[in-house]
Amino acid sequence: MVDAAGLDEDRARDWVVVRMVINAHWTIEDAERAGRGLDADEQAWITRCVAIAKAVQD
- Domain positions in the chain are 2-55
Across the chain, what does the average pLDDT equal? Answer: 95
Return the percentage of the chain with pLDDT > 90, whole number.
91
Taken in order 23, 28, 34, 36, is the CA torsion positive or negative?
A: positive
Q: Each residue of 12-22: pLDDT tens digit?
A: 999 999 999 99
User: Which of the pair, 25 or 3, is modelled with greater confidence?
Assistant: 25
Q: Each residue of 33-57: pLDDT tens digit?
A: 999 999 999 999 999 999 999 999 9
pLDDT greater than 80 at residue 58: no
pLDDT greater than 80 at residue 2: yes
